[in-house]
Amino acid sequence: MKREEIKEKLKEIIKPYVQNEDAFQKLTEDTNLLMDLEVNSAHLVDIILDMEEAFDIEIDDESAERMMTVGEALSISEKLIGEKD
């Protein structure tokens, strides 16, 4: 799966939990999930669970801890998907 494909899938996953639509429209890899998109921190767990299901990966605590921006979520997904192939 290419980075752009992963990004599109990731946007679909994140969308239902976004509270700041404007920030979502202007989304970049630097966009912070909590601060910019205003995702409720309780829903960060749901995003992680959704990513695991969508990409058939397992995100451990150490990886999840760094997952604050769209770019970091993308890099973690890309790495874990790569390790699986």
Residues that bind another protein (CB under 8 A): 19-20, 32, 34-35, 38, 41-42, 44-46, 48-49, 52, 61, 64-68
CB nearer to another protein: pick between 5 and 21: 21
CB nearer to another protein: pick between 46 and 78: 46
DSSP string, 12-78: HHHGGG-S-HHHHHT--TT-BTTTTS---HHHHHHHHHHHHHHHT----HHHHHT--BHHHHHHHHH
CB nearer to another protein: pick between 32 and 75: 32
Nearest-approach distance from CB 20 to another protein, in angstroms: 8
Nearest-approach distance from CB 47 to another protein, in angstroms: 10
Nearest-approach distance from CB 35 to another protein, in angstroms: 7
Q: What are phi and psi of 32, to 5 degrees?
A: -85, 130
The DSSP symbol for 85 reads: -
